[in-house]
Amino acid sequence: MKLTDNARVVLERRYLKKDEKGVCERPEDMIRRVADTIASADAAYGGDTEKTAEAFYDMMDGLKFMPNSPTLMNAGRDLGQLSACFVLPIEDSMEGIFDTLKNAAMIHKSGGGTGFSFSRIRPAGASVNSTGGVASGPISFMKVFNASTEAVKQGGTRRGANMGILRIDHPDIMDFIKCKSDLSQMTNFNISVGLTEKFMQAVIADKEYNLIDPATNKKTGSLKAKEVYETIVEMAWTSGEPGIVFLDRINKDNPVPAAGEIESTNPCGEQPLLPFESCNLGSINLNVFVKDGELDYDGLGETVNHAVHFLDNVIDMNRYPLPIIEETTKSMRKIGLGVMGFADMLYKLGIPYNSEEAVQTAKELMAFIQLSARKASEALGEVRGSFPMFEKSVYKSSGIKAMRNATVTTIAPTGTISIIAGTSSGIEPVFAISYIRNVMDDDKLVEVHPYFEQVAKQHKFYSKELMQIIAQRGTLHGIEEIPEDVSRVFVTAHDISPKFHIRMQSAFQESTDNAVSKTVNFAKTATKQDVRDAYDLAYKLGLKGVTIYRDGSRQGQVLSVGQKAKKEEIEDDFILAPRERPEITKGITQKIKIGCGNLYVTVNYDSQGICEVFTNVGRAGGCPSQSEATSRLVSMALRSGVDADSIIEQLRGIRCHSTLRQKGLKVLSCPDAIGRVLERVVELRGGETDAHEGGSNSAKCPECASLMEHEGGCVVCRSCGYSKCG
């Protein structure tokens, strides 16, 4: 396999088999294990398993296609759970809720992600007939699910991830919309509001709409649709959540309406599923199909055929966590074939991502993949039989004679599998042409996009110094050394307007059975109206859902609205409120000699950043009360979202008279010592902020401190493969 060094690191850390001595499997062995296991399903249909295994092996070995992570990790191993996506129903009873909680824990343990609709749970304050008490509402149970996910470790390979959806007409909808205003809460959930056509029409007409108690199906009140919509926009602008899904559109494309209503999606939103359904995903690497400046449609079509065959086999070889999930999944046999490397493909074709040509290319490309995938599924259906619910499907009513899979295409985020393939993720634009990668505590490498490096050398403007400048700026825009025709093509996520993000998502959605995972990036300076405009355009263009991320909006502590102010008075007036101290932190303790003895400075952090400072003065004396006061105030400031660099600037350089009496000291005072240790932790974590043009402020990987990318409601580190949703 032609793997990058980075791909090998990710495989060794997260995918390859390990024993007590460490990694005991090569990447080629993993591919062979997966190919042989998945091909063995052919035996039940009279197929040539050896021939199929070779086709599957060649497809993955050539980095043309990769299945979702659980298949790579678990195929041919004891666990055997191969699906990435599950949706579980939540009934309005204590027994039903906690049965689902148990099932979700088992799925998380096996490496899958779960989606839930909490819309069936009666609202907070509603009466409970069995006890005579009052209901605590869906959000309280979401917190229970979140805590359970936190406690379950997925075999050390994947973290639990959830999607929580609430219908727009649920009486608790306003509390749900705001439930992630504090980013220390619901950390294992992505949340989305389930919008209906009736609600959207009420927004357009500026009318009220009804709230319905799901337990009684009766109206409990009404809200102004426009105000609710604007609250969704405000919260998304503030923190990137909630996302939105258009439930009626999703159900309009339900291939078997008789099987039930789709009420939720998987954690990244691209896979709508019925209760107890699972889905197997895989993605074709478009980057390898560019030949001599053109797209190789013949080679692409052949890979689509093999990929559909592969994913259908996964359904048979899967070890499902629950019998009802196996039964429901096999009744539909849904698969989700998607793509990765789209942005890299555009680079090689010389097409700017933010151009009409790119949008048209996306439409033609996905239409070809969709048609090819359906033909492949029809061919399998003729040999193996159609999915069991075929007779009640839209395919049967439209005259199609056979179809093996109820759905065939999904555009998923490809996170770590795109790192393995050495290509750009999903249909996302490239996040950075050049970036700084932390490989050891004090060792940093400048990583450059390989095709850009090739072009730069051909045009004779390549230099290490220039690559560092690009890494610092995050864009080619405005760099004089780079020819205009090059900078026009090599655009990055932050060069692309939200309008083109939405239009690109729409272009792929036109020919995708399920949905499209895509992050709509906004500059830090974007307004709430900009977000509103994007949502309006998404509705107009027929998208099934939208996830947005405004640069820097998730770093630090979200600001809390003052309790006493009226809504109309607090449009942009916020009060700093420190988040609670996390239960688990990690950090460093440094011993520093000061003028009156030794000072021990501890700086701790969690996934959201540096959050606390402790000091302890040695036996020789010192000013313990002053040091403690400084530490407490610094800790409160950090957990309130104050930039660590600003705190360091204030502390560094403060002098104490005790330091004047001694030579050879490396600090000027206790506050100076605290500032220095803070500074060291910031450097070890790769910096708290990144200075992209426009004031970018992007998250750092908690494992290697490299820059993380936002993707479909999740973050992924392209240096080490760390990812987290919620």
117: left (phi over 0), alpha (psi -120 to 50) or beta: beta
Angle at the Cα of 205 from the Cα atoms of 203 and 210, rounded to 5 degrees: 60
Confidence of residue 302 (pLDDT cuts 50, 70, 90): very high
The residue-averaged pLDDT of 387-403 equals: 97
> What Cα–Cα distance (Å) separates residue 600 from each residue in 109, 194, 302, 584?
40, 51, 63, 20
Distance between CA atoms of 304 and 54, rounded to whole angstroms?
Answer: 16
* Residue of higher predicted confidence among 72 and 693: 72
Highest mean pLDDT: which of 365-374, 440-449, 543-552? 365-374
Q: Does the pLDDT of residue 706 top 80, yes or no?
A: no
Average pLDDT for the chain: 89
Classify residue 355 by burial, with Cβ atoms within 10 Å: 0-12, 13-18, 19+.
middle
pLDDT at residue 156, as a whole number = 47
Report the C-alpha gap between 617 and 594 in whole angstroms.
9
- Share above pLDDT 70 across residues of the chain, in percent, rounded to a whole number: 90
Element (DSSP H or E) covering residue 506: helix 498-509
Task: Give CA–CA dist 64/306, Å, rounded.
Answer: 10
Per-residue pLDDT, averaged over 483-506, amounts to 95
pLDDT at res. 7: 94
Ramachandran category for residue 380: left, alpha or beta (phi over 0 → left; psi -120 to 50 → alpha): alpha
- Set out the domains of the chain in order of their start, with CATH numbers: 5-81+279-421 (3.20.70.20), 586-684 (3.30.390)
Q: Kindly report which listed range (202-211, 344-353, 499-508, 638-647) carries the lowest average pLDDT score.
A: 638-647
**Residue 679: pLDDT above 60?**
yes
The predicted structure's pLDDT at residue 443: 60
CA-to-CA distance for 440 and 438, rounded, in angstroms? 6
Q: Which residues contact 360 (CB under 8 A, 6 or more apart)?
A: 507
Helices (H), 518-656: 528-540, 624-639, 644-651
pLDDT per residue as tens digits for the range 602-620: 999 887 789 999 888 876 5
For residue 441, pLDDT beyond 80: no
Q: What are the tens digits of pLDDT across the range 631-644?
A: 889 998 898 878 88
For residue 562, pLDDT over 60 is answered with no
Q: Is residue 621 over pLDDT 70?
A: no
Residue-level pLDDT at 558: 30
Which is more confident, 663 or 81? 81
- Pick the residue with more confidence: 709 or 698? 709
Distance between CA 279 and CA 266 in Å, rounded?
Answer: 9
Please list the residues that pair with 65 across neighbouring strands. 284
In this predicted structure, the answer to whether residue 256 has a pLDDT above a threshold of 70 is: yes
pLDDT, tens digit, for every residue of 324-335? 999 999 999 999
- Average pLDDT of 238-257? 96
> What average pLDDT does the segment 275-303 reach?
97
- Stretch among 203-207, 434-438, 527-531, 554-558 having the lowest mean pLDDT: 554-558
Does 576 or 359 have the greater pLDDT score? 359
- Backbone φ and ψ for 660, nearest 5 degrees, come out as -70, -20
pLDDT at 290: 98
Of residues 664 and 609, more confidently modeled: 609
| pLDDT band at residue 447 under the 50/70/90 scheme | confident
> Is residue 46 predicted with pLDDT exceeding 90?
yes
pLDDT, residue 694, reads 31
Min mean pLDDT across 151-165, 483-497, 521-535, 679-693 is at: 679-693
Please write the tens of the pLDDT for every residue from 475-491. Answer: 898 899 999 999 999 99
Name which residue leads in pLDDT, 43 or 13. Answer: 43
Higher-confidence residue of 413 and 701: namely: 413
Count Cβ neighbours within 10 Å for each residue of 547-581 and write b for 16 or more, e otherwise: bbbbbbbbbbbbbebeeeeeeeeeeeeeeeebbee
Q: Which residues carry out catalysis?
A: 266, 268, 270
Average pLDDT estimate for 127-143: 86
CB 300 within 8 A of CB 306: no
- Give the tens place of pLDDT for each residue, 451-474: 999 999 999 999 999 998 898 888
> Distance between terminal CA atoms of the chain?
33
Distance CA 72, CA 12 (A): 12
